[in-house]
A and B are shown apart, each in its own frame.
Chain A
Amino acid sequence: MKQEETDFEVRSLDTMCVNESELVHPWWYNFKYAAVGVIFGIVFIKAEIISWFRIQEMFKLQSFHMYGVIGTAVVVGAISVFLIKKLKIKTVHGEEITFTNKKFNKGQIYGGLIFGLGWAITGACPGPLFAQLGSGALAIIVVIASAMAGTWVYGKFREQLPH
């Protein structure tokens, strides 16, 4: 039980995935998330969100496209979250939908700046990397492996970094 608690602490600090569901589903239930992923992957490609050129245009203020995509997504997402909270909508399995408040730590600034630098070089955040790979740019496997290495090094030296 103790182990579980620290586990939650660690995860709620570092990721949005704080899945404390008590329900146990067969593993293949996860395919519903894969189906959502497929739609996301198609949007990534068809709206050219995974295009290195679109990302450069965004950071050079040469195109409104990416601002439009992210802005619309946030507005639609925010309205949805508001409605879910307001109407106390439950999951399809009847579970309560929960939200965890994010706590401030300096990592959001330092790490954010570091990620921003990498985003502009690779022209991709983590999601688009997988869509790029799917689109046939096989060399992106190197970028993904390197991103894993970056995550690993962060995990290794986490205690020494300012948070």
Chain B
Amino acid sequence: MIEKLTQPWPWYVAGAIIGLIVPTLLILGNKHFGISANLRHMCAACFPSNIPFFNYDWKKESWNLFFIGGILVGGVISTQYLSSPDPVIIHPDLAKELTQFGITDFSGLVPIQLFSFESLFTLRGLIMMVGGGFLVGFGTRYAGGCTSGHAIMGLSDLQWPSLLATISFMIGGFLMTNLILPYILAL
């Protein structure tokens, strides 16, 4: 059993569990699955700065902060107790392409050569960590949700604006990975 759990889980298992989070949160307390709103709650809690967008009762949404706190703990648990000793398998074409940009360490889920405190002092690392993070925070709030709020919760509830948002996420991602990212990685 433990052996099975430490192997990478197939997509249908992961997808089914994530899908079941939707009704679980609804039944536990009429909570709608969403994560990016937490960034807003964190702003509202720490730096409301008299901005109307951040002046609301964030404590009412504190369940959401507990939820991401749980995600963090889940990350710790699976890394500590359920991790697989085998290296992550990567598509050979991707590995070949990344090697050209000096990215050769495929051991972690996060490429250590791109996302580390040291790489913050390189232009490439700075753009990817600070710039990328900024786009995620700005874009999700502008769109009113992220992959969980729009792509999973919104589509589950057959909301067509969520479909538009999801298509936009994908277009943005395709543009970045295929057209822009090679230039950033070459820095």
Give the interface of A toward B (CB within 8 A): 7, 10-11, 13-19, 21, 27, 29-53, 55-60, 62-66, 68-78, 80-81, 83-84, 89, 91-93, 95-99, 101-105, 107-127, 129-140, 142-156, 158, 161
Contact = CB atoms under 8 A, between A and B. Distances in A.
A139 B129 contact: yes
B123 interface: no
B164 A151 contact: no
Given A18-B32, A81-B23, A39 B17 contact: yes
A53 B90 CA distance: 7
Given A112-B143, A118-B133, A122-B132, A41 B71 contact: yes
7 contacts: A34-B69, A78-B156, A114-B139, A118-B136, A119-B176, A138-B117, A150-B39
B171 A113 contact: yes
Contact of B12 (A18, A59, A68, A113): A68
Main secondary structure of the interface of A (DSSP, over half): helix
Given A111-B139, A137-B110, A146-B129, A72 B82 contact: no
Interface centre among B38, B71, B138 (most CB of A within 10 A): B71
Contacts of A120: 172-177, 181
Contacts of A103: 161
Interface of B: 5, 8-40, 42-43, 46-47, 49, 51-54, 56-57, 60-64, 66-79, 82-83, 88, 90-91, 93-94, 106, 108-112, 114-117, 119-120, 127-162, 164-178, 180-181, 184
Contacts, number: 542
B157 to A, nearest CB: 5
Contact of A111 (B60, B119, B141, B147): B141
Contact of B64 (A17, A56, A110, A135): A17
Nearest to A30: B66
A40 B73 contact: no
Given A53-B111, A117-B139, A127-B71, A36 B82 contact: no
Contacts of B139: 111-118, 150
A151 B58 CA distance: 15
A40 B61 contact: no
A148 to B, nearest CB: 5
Nearest to B145: A16
Given A21-B29, A114-B139, A135-B76, A53 B161 contact: no
A153 B138 contact: yes
B32 A112 contact: no
A108 B22 CA distance: 21
B143 A151 contact: no
A111 B144 contact: yes
Contact of A117 (B71, B117, B176): B176
A129 B164 CA distance: 24
Given A17-B34, A48-B8, A74-B156, A113 B53 contact: no
B70 A122 contact: no
A115 B153 CA distance: 17
A83 B29 CA distance: 17
B14 A49 contact: yes
Contacts of B164: 104, 108-109, 112
Contacts of A108: 143-144, 150, 161-162, 164-165, 168
